[in-house]
Amino acid sequence: MSEAVAGAVAERFTQLYGSEPEGVWAAPGRVNLIGEHTDYNDGFVMPFALPHTAVAAVSRREDGVLRLHSADIGADVVELRVADLAPQSDRSWTAYPSGVVWALREAGHEVTGADVHLASTVPSGAGLSSSAALEVVIALALNDLFSLGLRGWQLARLCQRAENVYVGAPVGIMDQTAAACCEAGHALFLDTRDLSQRQIPFDLAAEGMRLLVVDTQVKHSHSEGEYGKRRAGCEKGAALLGVDALRDVPYADLDAALERLGDEEEVRRLVRHVVTEDERVERVVALLESGDTRAIGPVLVEGHASLRDDFRISCPELDLVVDTALASGALGARMTGGGFGGSAIVLAEESDVPAITKSVEEAFAAAGFTAPRVFEAVPSAGARRVR
């Protein structure tokens, strides 16, 4: 994110509120390389940050007032009282920033109000975590301005609480941790049980490869029922198997576990996805750490098949991206994020990128789908102060 963008956001803040902001912060969207729907099962994930960010210009207030404005919504400034913030009382975009204020205060942090102006380049509804970027940028700004001393993973936990309780979306911890903790040039290997992390160098350009994001333009939302149903099904599976979370089912014991689930066909499929997906994350980490980057391609493809056939959260557009990219020479491809629309990722040799992009665009046109948005994803920095 450039100095010019930070300057423009600060300038708009000054026009809106009549004084300069105390600072400007940025938090990125993410793509998940592998490890899907494992985070609320205490499992492994491996996201990296996009260059696209939510940017917030913020000043402290001490009078209990929270004023919010977004360049992307273009409406008037919304004025709220921090003492009145209540879970699930707000169905608009302001629930994300005000939910973070609520979560900080509920955790005992003295946040006495703020003026906020936001602008984001993270595509919304594209499975690229625009909501988490919004939450984390606010959390980081308030952490700095009110000297709360919280670490990235602590901010991520509070943001997840804001989204679960205040917004009412039963998401896991991956997206908030990615926004808060990712580092440029790396993918984040995260154990969602204890939030222990390892930064894995992930510089595809240096090896002559590229990772494309294909936004299918099919919008999705986690507050809608299907995400929650999958989560409930996983929790049922863990309960039937007598474990705290599906993370505790060893890959080596999967067949026996599935047998014990008897005729619970749907739960069996969900369990099989989660247990095999955790194993795929570990395989990808091992391949990247041994320098065998191209070999992760088939693992991504396995992950997509599992999400499509066992977890059943793909859609025709996502499947078309994956099938077309692979037929045009991609090393690997899969849907990324929560599913039911959103984006797919494609791992490819640099020289194959134009042909793959063209094939995907032509396949979408031939199928009568809305044209996809294709861009290259370079692993970028996590949340930070930019001014």
Instruction: Candidates 31-39, 58-66, 201-209, 378-386: pick the segment binding ligand GAF (CB under 6 A).
Output: 31-39
For residues 35 to 64, the per-residue mask of contacts with ligand GAF, x marking binding by CB under 6 A and - elsewhere, is -xx-xx------------------------
Structure tokens at 247: 């993370």
State residue 42 phi and psi, 5-degree precision.
65, 20
Please tell me whether residue 172 binds ligand GAF under the rule CB under 6 A. Answer: yes
Burial class (CB in 10 A: 0-12, 13-18, 19+), 262: exposed
303 belongs to the binding site for ligand GAF (CB under 6 A): no
Choosing from 42, 90, 115, 175, the catalytic residue is: 175
| Catalytic residue status for 175 | yes
Q: Would you say 328 is a known binding-site residue?
A: no
297 sits near ligand GAF (criterion: CB under 6 A): no
Q: Which is nearer to ligand GAF, 227 or 364 (CB)?
A: 227
DSSP 8-class letter at 380? B
Q: Which of residues 203-242 bind ligand GAF (CB under 6 A)?
A: 222
Is residue 310 within the footprint of ligand GAF (CB under 6 A)? no
* The amino acid at 378: V
Structural contact between residues 371 and 213, judged by C-beta atoms closer than 8 angstroms: no
Gap between the Cα atoms of 127 and 340, Å rounded: 9
Among 42, 90, 115, 175, binds ligand GAF (CB under 6 A): 175
Confirm if 359 and 353 have CB atoms less than 8 A apart.
Answer: no
Alpha helices per DSSP H over 167-224: 174-181
CB count within 10 Å of CB 36 equals 28
Nearer to ligand GAF, 112 or 223 (CB): 223
Distances (CA, A) of 23 to 76, 135, 167, 214: 22, 17, 26, 33
CA 273 to chain centre: 19
Cβ 30 to ligand GAF, closest distance in Å?
A: 9
Annotated binding residue 359? no
- 338 versus 379: smaller Cβ distance to ligand GAF: 338
70 annotated among ligand-binding-site residues: yes
In this complex, which beta carbon is closest to ligand GAF, that of residue 61 or of residue 231?
Answer: 231
Q: Distance between alpha carbon 94 and the CA centroid of its chain, in Å?
A: 19
Contact set with ligand GAF (CB under 6 A): 32, 36-37, 39-40, 171-172, 174-175, 222, 337-338
Binding site: residue ranges? 36-39, 70, 125-131, 163, 227
**Catalytic residue ranges:** 175
